[in-house]
Structure 1
Amino acid sequence: MGLLRVMMPPKLQLLALLAFAVAMFFLENQIQKLEESRGKLERAIARHEVREIEQRHTQDGLRERASAASAPPDADDDLVVIYNRVPKTASTSFTNIAYDLCGRNRYHVLHINTTKNNPVMSIQDQVRFVKNVTEWREMKPAFYHGHVSFLDFTKFGVKKKPIYVNVIRDPIERLVSYYYFLRFGDDYRPGLRRRKQGDKKTFDECVSAGGSDCAPEKLWLQIPFFCGHYSECWNVGSQWALEQAKYNLVNEYMLVGVTEELEDFVMMLEAALPRFFKGATDLYKTGKKSHLRKTSEKKPPTKESIAKLQQSAIWKMENEFYEFALEQFQFVRAHAVREKDGELYLLAQNFFYEKIYPKN
């Protein structure tokens, strides 16, 4: 550069300096633009990466929510108990316990009210009922009760069946109670007019006169209720119905109690199904309305009336079923409850696990 200054005239030297300065300015400007472009590119890449991360998080969240929505509900929240109550077996007394506890234990109680108390559903109503019980999630967990005969859910392709419970009673005592209930009602709704109101004839007088309301055929009720929705179940005196009722009692019902030992039944249900019956035993013992329903004007039948009914084949079959249920209930109770100083108490857990492999 020094040599050029010597050889070049001053004007040319000035022009050369100006040209060099312009070139350097242009070069610096281009470099600055390149730096700005690189910064923009880096920011664009960073924003793209952030969006990708956000999208992954969103997709993960959606997958987690979808997985949670499709996951099965908690087992206790999906429980359904059906009590297909036999008339005049303390069914209202037991059902009132369920109503008293439903708010506290967080479940729903639904009464199955059939037209004219018909215990047999039409095939279309069977389908509707099964669909309601299995798919009506807003009502779960649920306790259904009503005078409906046993319904086999497996016939409708249901994988998870409801839990059945029930209570039965000595057949003659049940019939006597029902006879007077139709005439005088009970202390639960004393003002309600009953179907036979005004008929003052006693049960003994009915038996002596061979009346239809106390006929042996009227004993045929607990067997068909447990037998179910087969035509043979309702053929009075059917041996097949008796055997089917026994089969259902031990295979389809979690627990069947007897009216005469209702407190034990309530206690065992509380132990087995605390989601529904936690607090039921204390309520049964101390509640003001749970177990106070009594048929009005009921007179115990004479030995003669009882003996006459016991001569019938229908009584023998109904009594056989009752004795079968009683023996099964007492067997279950013997392995669940003990008595000490006049008080009943539940046995503690009597099994445990050992030899668990593989070792951690």
Structure 2
Amino acid sequence: MALMNLLGKQNGYGAHRDKPSPIETVLLSPLFEINLIEEIMEKEQPATYSKHVAYIDFAANDYAQPIYINMVRDPIERLISWFYYIRAPWYIAERKKRFAKSYKLPNVQWLKKTFNKCILEHDDECLFEQGEERGLGDHRRQMLFFCGQDTTICMPFNSYEAMQISKQHVESNYAVVGTWEETNITLKVLEHYIPRFFKGATDVYYHPENNLHKVNRNTVRPTVSPEHHSIHNVRNRHHIDKELVSHNHIQHHKSNNVQNQPRLGNNELVIQAPNTNEPIKSHHKTAKREKIQVDKKQQFQDDDYDLEDDEWSLKADLLNNTKKAEVDVIFFNRVPKVGSQSLMELMVRLGNINGYSHSRDAGKATETILLKPDNQRELIAEIYMKNKPHAYSQHIAYINFTRFHFPKPIYINLVRDPIERIISWHYYVRAEWYYKDLKDKLGDKAPDMPEKEFMEMDFETCVKTGSKYCQFNQMQVNNPAGDHRRQTLFFCGQNKKLCMPFNSAAAMQKAKRTVEEDYAVVGTWEDTNITLSVLEHYIPKFFKHAKVAYYLFQNRLSSVNKNSVKKTVSEEARAIIRKNLTNEIEFYEFCKQRLYLQYAAISGGEKIDNDDYLLLPEHNDEGDYEY
């Protein structure tokens, strides 16, 4: 932290930390977690923020991921260091001065205790039982700071499962995890992997006036004999925590997770959750979250898989998020103008075949895509009151069910070429039958048909004249046109600040991550056969016989809510709007690529079931899909 304070002045960023407290809150309640994230994200960027806290998944709370960094140390040296740190006279004097009312002076007998004696006499302070959940106050769990906020998985001491999740988080999310045991290597890695923040780190660290090597250093520490090191190491089996440290050393040389983080223009944020030297307690109320199941008999390998006969089945398993679902409920938060009515009707028919029910939200004049947290919770509760198995459909941005302590559903959706969606919407809301249909459904609550000028405006003219209905201003939050131009919004989530800015790179990255981690299938009617096959194989309980049902009722399903009132749009007009849809297009291509990978994984690159009639080219007529 001292290094970042100095570098902040040199490199032009703010270095922040939490307010000093007599008790550190390392495990947070969900509300506390969100409040902390919001506090961090409100800092003027670029910025760094440091706090003694277990790993927090910003993306799971619908926020852009920061640049994660941390430090590690040999686990035994950490424990010995902590033992004498809290007995150092200067530490006690400092805490008495800072927290006079709450800090109680320790007794002399406790102060004179040595680590050697503590170990040999099996003192309660130096017992480290495998799997125990006590001892949060002495920071024995280095892995906790990488494992995260799930007490069920992360609190059991020296847990194999906690180690595997910690390694996974380091591998996937941390830009750098360094160690002062390798000072020069750590400084160089920070300089090269995060130059915006750590440029010149080596020079600043070694500058004689800075004395950074002496910060918070405890000179009051007797020597611990090798015998007691050995007793401590063998008796308490710290091999798992040591394995994490070794893994972090390897991580220096493997990958750069800085480039995996979303960017908000020039906005940058580093978050550091240092291994602590302060007492801590938990404010965490255990929530039911997704558990990463680990086979303790089978070690994860860092080497590449040998993909020969098992190549496709392995990939299929890696691409299958259905196994993460904790309840037999499909949540189809359908994107407008992608043909979602057709999929809903298909699910109704399949429900009669496969034994599940389907429902959707009540029709209304305007769609509410973003909900307040209380409304999100109410919607989830309403869905889960349905008889299961069940499929639910609604035009709404992605909702993180586990954030509200509900089981994770099976997420599905459809996407469509962003330019085609926008053109589709333009003519859809200018079709007379659309307003007549709303009138039949909503009666007096239906909107009136707009003026003739609006109804007769073609897309070509709209674009070339710069009408407000065809302006696509970058990062615009408000939506004067009242349309559904943001396809990424339905995958980015309910965070308006992050997800609403139009064509935002950060929203796109968040949407990609959500698809990758949570969605079982994101298909497209532009690839009908592939989409149906992937749905059948990845969600068989709900989509068994999907191809047969679709083609049996193809005339009906391919024409549901179809708009025939659509004019040809020139390439010139398409090019004008294409340049303003760069991130929307990238997200759409990402979803298609993932769909193709899922199909390749289950088909081995071949046709599925030898159904030749399913492999005919898709028809590309001038008709249009529903809202």
Change (3 A) 1:265 1:301: same
CA distance in 2 between partners of 1:175 and 1:281 (Å): 28
Change (3 A) 1:118 1:176: same
Change (3 A) 1:277 1:341: closer
Q: Does 1:118 align with 2:386?
A: no
**Aligned residues, how many?**
265
Asked if structure 2 preserves the Cα contact closer than 8 Å seen for 1:110 and 1:145, the reply is: yes
Change (3 A) 1:296 1:344: closer
CA distance in 1 between partners of 2:552 and 2:368 (Å): 34
Identity %: 29
Asked if structure 2 preserves the Cα contact closer than 8 Å seen for 1:169 and 1:260, the reply is: yes
Change (3 A) 1:238 1:89: same
In the alignment, what sits opposite 1:94?
343
Deviation at 1:197, TM superposition (A): 7.4
Q: 1:210 aligns with which of 455, 466, 473?
A: 466
TM-score by length of 1: 0.67
Change (3 A) 1:285 1:77: farther
* Aligned residue runs from structure 1 range 1-360, under 5 A: 78-113=327-362, 116-134=366-384, 136=385, 138-158=386-406, 160-184=407-431, 191-192=437-438, 196=450, 198=452, 199-217=455-473, 220-231=485-496, 232-287=498-553, 288-293=555-560, 294-312=562-580, 315-337=581-603, 338-339=606-607, 342-343=612-613
Residue 81 of structure 1 aligns to a residue whose secondary structure is strand
Residue 117 of structure 1 aligns to a residue whose secondary structure is coil
Asked if structure 2 preserves the Cα contact closer than 8 Å seen for 1:220 and 1:237, the reply is: no
Asked if structure 2 preserves the Cα contact closer than 8 Å seen for 1:76 and 1:141, the reply is: no
Deviation at 1:278, TM superposition (A): 2.3
Residue 297 of structure 1 aligns to a residue whose secondary structure is coil
Higher relative contact order (CA 8 A, sep 6+): 1
> What amino acid is aligned across from residue 205 of structure 1 in structure 2?
T
Deviation at 1:212, TM superposition (A): 2.2
Deviation at 1:263, TM superposition (A): 2.9
Change (3 A) 1:334 1:208: same
CA distance in 1 between partners of 2:450 and 2:534 (Å): 37
Deviation at 1:185, TM superposition (A): 5.9
TM-score by length of 2: 0.40
Residue 100 of structure 1 aligns to a residue whose secondary structure is helix
Q: Greater shift after overlay, 138-147 or 260-269?
A: 260-269
> Where do 5+ consecutive residues of structure 1 fail to align?
1-74, 346-360
Asked if structure 1 preserves the Cα contact closer than 8 Å seen for 2:334 and 2:395, the reply is: yes
Change (3 A) 1:307 1:77: closer
Residue 424 of structure 2 aligns to a residue whose secondary structure is helix
> What amino acid is aligned across from residue 177 of structure 1 in structure 2?
S
Larger radius of gyration: 1
Residue 396 of structure 2 aligns to a residue whose secondary structure is coil
Deviation at 1:325, TM superposition (A): 0.9
CA distance in 2 between partners of 1:309 and 1:161 (Å): 37
> What amino acid is aligned across from residue 351 of structure 2 in structure 1?
C
Residue 216 of structure 1 aligns to a residue whose secondary structure is coil
Change (3 A) 1:109 1:185: farther
Change (3 A) 1:341 1:147: closer
> What amino acid is aligned across from residue 495 of structure 2 in structure 1?
Y
Deviation at 1:295, TM superposition (A): 1.3
- Aligned-pair Cα RMSD in Å: 2.7
Change (3 A) 1:102 1:76: farther
For residues 115-159 of structure 1, the C-alpha deviation after alignment (integer angstroms, 9 at most, x for no partner) is 62111112211111222334x2x521110101010001121123x
In the alignment, what sits opposite 2:70?
none
> Where do 5+ consecutive residues of structure 2 fail to align?
1-323, 440-446, 474-482, 616-627
For residues 140-188 of structure 1, the C-alpha deviation after alignment (integer angstroms, 9 at most, x for no partner) is 1110101010001121123x300001110000001111111101167x9
Asked if structure 1 preserves the Cα contact closer than 8 Å seen for 2:486 and 2:503, the reply is: no
Residue 229 of structure 1 aligns to a residue whose secondary structure is coil
In the alignment, what sits opposite 2:247?
none
For residues 7-50 of structure 1, the C-alpha deviation after alignment (integer angstroms, 9 at most, x for no partner) is xxxxxxxxxxxxxxxxxxxxxxxxxxxxxxxxxxxxxxxxxxxx
Change (3 A) 1:86 1:76: closer
Asked if structure 1 preserves the Cα contact closer than 8 Å seen for 2:415 and 2:524, the reply is: yes
Deviation at 1:80, TM superposition (A): 0.2
Residue 429 of structure 2 aligns to a residue whose secondary structure is helix
Asked if structure 2 preserves the Cα contact closer than 8 Å seen for 1:183 and 1:197, the reply is: no
CA distance in 2 between partners of 1:308 and 1:177 (Å): 16
* 4+ aligned runs moved over 6 Å, structure 1: none
In the alignment, what sits opposite 1:67?
none
Deviation at 1:273, TM superposition (A): 2.3
Asked if structure 2 preserves the Cα contact closer than 8 Å seen for 1:184 and 1:197, the reply is: no
Deviation at 1:261, TM superposition (A): 0.7
In the alignment, what sits opposite 1:69?
none
Deviation at 1:272, TM superposition (A): 2.5
Change (3 A) 1:292 1:219: closer
